Structure formats: C-alpha cells, structure tokens
Amino acid sequence: MNGPQVITLVEETGSTNADLAAAIRSGEGWAEGTWLVARRQTAGRGRQGREWFDGAGNFMGSTAVQLGEGAPPPATLSFVAALAVRDAVAGVLPDDVAPALKWPNDVMLDGGKLSGILLEMVRGHIVVGIGVNLARAPQLPDRKTAAIADIALPAELEGFAASLAAAFDRRLEAWRTYGLAATLHAFLGGSIHAAGSPVTVHDTDGSVLTGSFAGLDESDGGLRLRLADGSERVIRAGDIS
C-alpha cells in the first residue's frame, strides 16, 4: 500500500490536471498518493473535450499514478477511479440509496451522471482528474445529471476528499496486485449493465451502433457489443445509452 494520502487544497486554479502535468513536466514531480483539490476550477475539461462544471461546493481534484512494469493497461485506471468515486459517494448517501457505474467510467445517481473522470499520460505518469457533484450539477444538453445534494446533505469537501483519496489508494493497490480482471469484476458488480441488455453506442465519429451488452474485454476493459447477426465488436471509445 501507498503511504498516507496528502491533500493540498487551493481556493482556485485553472485546472488541477494541468497543474499536476506541469509539475511533472518541469521535473518537480508529483508524489503518488498526493492530491491537488480546488474549491473552484476555471478551465476544467471532461472526456472528449467537454467542459465540466466548476461550481463552488463540488469536488474537483487530481492525483498522479506512476506507471510500472507488469501493471494493467494505463487507460484502465479509469475503472479504478470510477470504483473509488462510487466507494466515497456511497459513504455520504443514505443506506437505501446506492450509486451505480456505467461504462466506461461514469458514476450514476438516480439515472443522472454524478461525476467526471479524465486521464492524461505525462512522462511515465497518468494524471487522474476527478469531478464529483456534491452540491449541484451542471446542465448538460445531452444527458441527465445529478448531485448528492439532490437527495442528501452535501458532503463537506475536505472530508469527501480524504475519503476519495483513501478509496483510490485501496482500488489502485488491488489493480496492481490482482490485475485487471478483479477490477473489471468489481466494476460490473456495481454497474447498470446486465448481460444481454440493449446498448446504443454513440461513437466519437458521430455514428450510432446498436446491439446488446456482452461483457467487458479482459485485456483492456473495452465494451463487448453483440450485434444482431451474432457477431461481436469491442468498443473502446464513445458514449453509450
């Protein structure tokens, strides 16, 4: 296991991911287990270049993972991050409310997107940026969103950051120790995806593909889509509904 997590909290920055990337590129580095958390983020981004909400009261933070020999593919850290967010969120929700996971790395609450996760590779590190709607959710044109405050008291930022850092450390250790299969098993155990359920894939090129859910590829976590003719395709990018 890594040592105790260290959280640096700043009032405002452009992007915590950009700050960590700059520190790594400059040679200053960023110790694994250390987080940068901002109360306000003015230039945050989501997957596929989307802006992600920067409102006060929400969690916006980043950490870095040093890549090593024999570890699973770096991109699968998105599953680690999603599981860690779900763990931390579950700790502040009522017992009868459970967050769910949606491929590739969404954490859902009452059918709405609760968080955003962005991975960036920088000089042998993966910078992991996470945003979680604690107090309020952004309005997105193409999907429903949710915030913890919709159904419970908003989580206090410092306490949530500590819980998330600890959860990420646990999930990261399991990813390294037991391999990708165990992480994918955990992800599917908390996901909205059932074998054979209908899936529509909106690809990054604008195309739409329909089929049924056939599991996750064991090599990299790609979504296995069974088409109407019985063949399968592995989807590695895009949004699904």
pTM comes to 0.92
Domain shared by 95 and 25, yes or no: yes
Give the phi and the psi of residue 99 in degrees, each rounded to 5. Answer: -70, 155
Strands 232-235 and 223-226: what pairing? antiparallel
Model pLDDT, residue 54: 54
The tokens 């850092």 sit on which residue? 165
Tell me: do 185 and 202 sit in the same domain: no
Give how many domains the chain has, as a whole number: 2
Residue 71 in tokens: 């570890």
Give the model's pLDDT for residue 53.
52
Per-residue model confidence (pLDDT) at position 41: 84
Residues 82, 137 share a domain: yes
Helix axes 77-90, 180-189, angle to 10 degrees: 40
* Range of the structural domain that residue 226 is part of: 198-240
Kindly state whether residues 62 and 16 are assigned to the same domain: yes
Q: Are residues 183 and 204 in the same domain?
A: no
Q: In what order do the strands lie in the sheet with 198-202?
A: 232-235, 223-226, 208-216, 198-202, 239-240
pLDDT tens by residue, the chain, 241 residues: 455 679 999 999 999 999 999 999 999 989 999 999 999 988 755 544 455 555 778 999 999 999 988 899 999 999 999 999 999 999 999 999 999 999 999 999 999 999 999 999 999 999 999 999 999 998 878 789 999 999 998 889 999 999 999 999 999 999 999 999 999 999 999 999 999 999 999 877 778 999 999 999 999 999 999 999 999 999 988 788 8
Q: Both 22 and 109 in a single domain?
A: yes
Q: 5 near 34, Cβ under 8 Å?
A: yes
- Together in a domain, 139 and 44: yes
